[in-house]
């Protein structure tokens, strides 16, 4: 699926593990559908056209960032709640640094420069241009 950079925002909702509703904003409907495919566990639901009205502090932080189009992947590592090492791919240094600034519950460090091997967040699901959000599990 090839999405454009056209800015026609849509707002989606999802529920966290406590059943609390959250909003997530996407640049356009195409990127919403990419997120549906790349993050199936989030179970996103299309809410309405336009910018989200009730973004979390984290999403507001991410929305204020400037997102370059360059593709210069970084493979980052972090540890999940069980202490297992996980990898997450970012499209470029800007996306990686945004995660470090806006995500205070996950400590990320560069594993290596280049695409992650054996990561669910590689290829078209790598964090980058898709939307004005970042979701780290």
Which residues in 13-49 are b (16+ Cβ under 10 Å) and which e?
bbeeeeeeebbbbbbbbbbbbbbbebbeebebeebee
In angstroms, the CA 58 to CA 83 distance is 24
Helix (H, G, I), strand (E, B) or coil at 3: coil
Q: What's the domain count of the chain?
A: 1
In angstroms, the CA 73 to CA 40 distance is 23
Residue 97 lies in a domain: yes
pTM: 0.56
Q: Are 42 and 17 in contact (CB under 8 A)?
A: no
> How many Cβ atoms are within 10 Å of 99's Cβ, its own excluded?
20
Confidence of residue 137 (pLDDT cuts 50, 70, 90): very low
Question: With 0-12 CB in 10 A as exposed, 13-18 as middle and 19+ as buried, what is 113?
Answer: exposed
Residue 5 lies in a domain: no
Domain of residue 29: give its range: 10-125
pLDDT at res. 73 = 85
pLDDT tens digits for 117-131?
865 555 555 554 433
Residue 104 lies in a domain: yes
């Amino acid at each position: 699926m090839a999405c454009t950079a056209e800015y026609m925002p849509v707002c989606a909702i999802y529920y966290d593990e406590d059943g609390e509703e959250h909003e997530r904003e996407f640049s356009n409907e195409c990127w919403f559908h990419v997120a549906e495919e790349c993050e199936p566990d989030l179970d996103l639901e299309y809410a309405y056209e336009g910018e989200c009205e009730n973004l979390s502090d984290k999403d507001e932080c991410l929305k204020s960032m400037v997102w370059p189009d360059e593709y210069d992947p970084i493979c980052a590592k972090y540890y999940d709640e069980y202490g297992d090492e996980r990898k997450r791919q970012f499209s470029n240094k800007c996306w990686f640094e945004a995660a470090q600034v806006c995500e205070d519950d996950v400590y990320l460090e560069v594993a290596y420069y280049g695409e992650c091997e054996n990561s669910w967040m590689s290829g078209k699901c790598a964090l980058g241009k898709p939307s004005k959000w970042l979701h780290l599990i």
